[in-house]
Amino acid sequence: MSGPEPPGFLMPGSPPMRDTVAGWRQWVATRGDFTPAPRLSLAQWRLLSPKDKSLRDLHRAVTHANLPLLQTPMSLAVTKLLRGRITSNAAKRKPTTLSGVMVTGGGYQGKTETACECLAAFEEGWLQLHRYLNPEAVSGTRDLHVPVAYVQTPVTAKPKSLCKAILNFYGAPLSSRMDLPDLIRQVALTLHENGTKALLLDDITRLRMHRADDQDTLDLIRAFMNMHVTLVLVGVDIPRSGLLREGRHDPGSGQVHFPPSRHAVNGAEPTQTERRFDLVELDRFHYDTDEEITAWTDHLAGVESQLRLIKAEPGMLTEGVMPEYLFERTDGVVGLLERLLEDGCREAIDSGTECLTEPLLNNIAITPGPPGRDRTTGEIPDIPAPRRPARKASGRRPRNTVLDDQGPAAATGS
């Protein structure tokens, strides 16, 4: 006899893994399906039965663990460049090397999620435009139409392992007898047959330029740019990683020009010798000017609207010294802010406080990220420690007065 069905907000199974076609498509299709817990007043809460209260608590906890990706001024700039580059490249009909995009920034700043969301939106529009059929499919065949491919750079990357990671995304057959030229030709054929327009290589700064294998892998990545696909490389602090060391930065165009690749498809050197990338940074928030303080406070307001704490008053995260306090705890890194608030909300629910305060958050330690993150490459940022005891008035940043009401006297100038 089967038990009761689990609540609808508890999605069955594990989250989709984006490094396969099936996993990527599942993520694209379901990324907006989650329904957050409804808002309840304290009076409404008190009318619930103990069972319903327990269920509501679970739903609220799941809501706080699945906060939506909010656009920031920095992510908007990344999205604009990335979407424009991919769309423009996808429309090109000339057999030319396509310019790529490098998305850099610190750890936990939302680089991967911002890039994936942008690519998912492109894929949805591209599939609708072509009625979900591959316009480049060979007559009489039914090739998959995969406009976007997402691949994580192997931890110990080598040219062969990177080719295999790309082919594994498509589920393409592999043979142990395939040498590197065979793998490169298979990658080129697979990208073409599936109509892939953008290839995202995540965690690209796992490549270490002091290793010969990693230098060969970067050389291979440049060769991919001749396969009529837009390369999107995402990594932590790319300028300092050594990936651009062999490149020549053009301050006029803001692009990085690379020398020719030593690898070539079908054994011939590409005719296009300059490999170009647009380098764009997804920066953290800052808290120095009025404009920066306002941007941070606006972001906190957006996050606050997603929280489901019963006794939370409007301005819980945006008034008084709370914006300054949250900035000091997270250094303006959105991923650390999300982790702090998620754990803080759980503590607020468990303790019955039902509100986020500085004393409550002082007892919350921001823990490192999920398994597989490489601290040595900056994938896990430095985490500021909470201040204890409470901060004194002297020696701290000026209080945020951007949203203060100055009263009629200030308005009249008297």
Q: Are residues 203 and 167 in the same domain?
A: yes
Cβ–Cβ contacts within 10 Å for residue 47, how many? 10
Secondary structure (3-state) at 358? helix
Tokens 């702090």 correspond to what residue?
A: 340
264 inside domain = yes
| pLDDT of 251 | 61
Question: In terms of pLDDT, which residue wins out, 297 or 238?
Answer: 297
Query: What is the tally of structural domains in the chain?
Result: 2
Q: Are residues 183 and 253 in the same domain?
A: yes
Q: Which of 257, 281, 305 is the last residue of a domain?
A: 281
Q: Are residues 44 and 89 in the same domain?
A: no
DSSP tag of 395: T
Question: In terms of pLDDT, which residue wins out, 95 or 270?
Answer: 95
- For 84-94, the pLDDT digits (tens) are 999 999 998 88
| pLDDT of 219 | 79
What is the DSSP pairing of strand 248-250 with strand 255-258? antiparallel
Least confident of 181-190, 267-276, 380-389: 267-276
Q: Which two tokens stand for residue 146?
A: 């995969």
Give the whole-angstrom CA distance, residue 60 versus residue 52.
Answer: 12
- For 154-205, the pLDDT digits (tens) are 888 889 999 999 999 999 988 888 899 999 999 999 999 899 999 999 998 8
Q: Are residues 297 and 271 in the same domain?
A: no
How much of the chain, in percent, has pLDDT values that exceed 70?
Answer: 75
Q: Are residues 338 and 223 in the same domain?
A: no
16 inside domain = no
State the average pLDDT over residues 145-162.
91
- For 318-329, the pLDDT digits (tens) are 999 999 999 999
- For 112-122, the pLDDT digits (tens) are 999 999 999 99
Secondary structure (3-state) at 104? strand
* Helix ranges (DSSP H) in 263-356: 290-304, 322-330, 334-351
Q: From 385, 384, 380, 386, select the one nearest 109 (Cα to Cα).
A: 380
Q: Are residues 148 and 88 in the same domain?
A: yes
405 inside domain = no
Instruction: Using alpha carbons only, give the angle 360, 366, 370 rounded to the nearest 5 degrees.
Output: 140
Strands (E), 33-97: none
How much of the chain, in percent, has pLDDT values that exceed 90?
Answer: 55
Q: Are residues 313 and 378 in the same domain?
A: yes
Count of positions (residues) in the chain:
414
Question: In the beta sheet, which residues pair with residue 231?
Answer: 199
Least confident of 77-91, 221-235, 267-281: 267-281
- For 331-382, the pLDDT digits (tens) are 999 999 999 999 999 999 999 999 999 999 999 998 765 555 555 555 667 7
Least confident of 50-64, 134-148, 183-197: 134-148
Residue 391 has pLDDT above 50, yes or no: no
- For 399-410, the pLDDT digits (tens) are 555 445 544 444
Q: Are residues 129 and 226 in the same domain?
A: yes
Give the whole-angstrom CA distance, residue 386 versus residue 327.
Answer: 11
H or E element in which residue 148 lies = strand 148-152
Structural domain boundaries enclosing 143: 73-281
Burial of 116-128, coded b for 16+ CB within 10 Å and e otherwise, reads bbbbbebbeebbe
Q: Are residues 371 and 305 in the same domain?
A: yes
86 inside domain = yes
Sign of CA dihedral 168, 170, 175, 177: negative
130 inside domain = yes
Q: From 324, 97, 129, select the one nearest 229 (Cα to Cα).
A: 97
Q: Are residues 101 and 236 in the same domain?
A: yes
Q: Are residues 363 and 250 in the same domain?
A: no
Q: Which amino acid is at 299?
A: H
Give the whole-angstrom CA distance, residue 99 versus residue 85.
Answer: 8
What is the pTM (predicted TM-score) of this model?
0.80
136 inside domain = yes
Q: Which of 281, 310, 329 is the last residue of a domain?
A: 281
Question: In the beta sheet, which residues pair with residue 149?
Answer: 199
Q: Are residues 355 and 252 in the same domain?
A: no
406 inside domain = no
Tokens 């007559």 correspond to what residue?
A: 139
Confidence grade of residue 139 (pLDDT, cut at 50, 70, 90): low
Q: Which amino acid is at 154?
A: P
Confidence grade of residue 298 (pLDDT, cut at 50, 70, 90): very high
Instruction: Using alpha carbons only, give the angle 374, 378, 384 rounded to the nearest 5 degrees.
Output: 110
CATH of the domain at 112: 3.40.50.300
**Contact between residue 31 and residue 68 where contact means Cβ atoms under 8 Å apart:** no
| pLDDT of 392 | 45
Q: Which of 237, 253, 281 is the last residue of a domain?
A: 281
155 inside domain = yes
* Helix ranges (DSSP H) in 373-413: 407-412
| pLDDT of 344 | 97
Instruction: Please list, in sequence order, all residues whose beta carbon lies within 8 angstroms of the beta carbon of residue 219, skipping any fewer than 6 positions away.
Output: 159, 261, 262, 263
Q: From 167, 160, 68, 86, select the one nearest 122 (Cα to Cα).
A: 86
Average pLDDT, the chain: 82
**Contact between residue 345 and residue 356 where contact means Cβ atoms under 8 Å apart:** yes
Q: Which amino acid is at 362?
A: N
State the average pLDDT over residues 134-147.
68
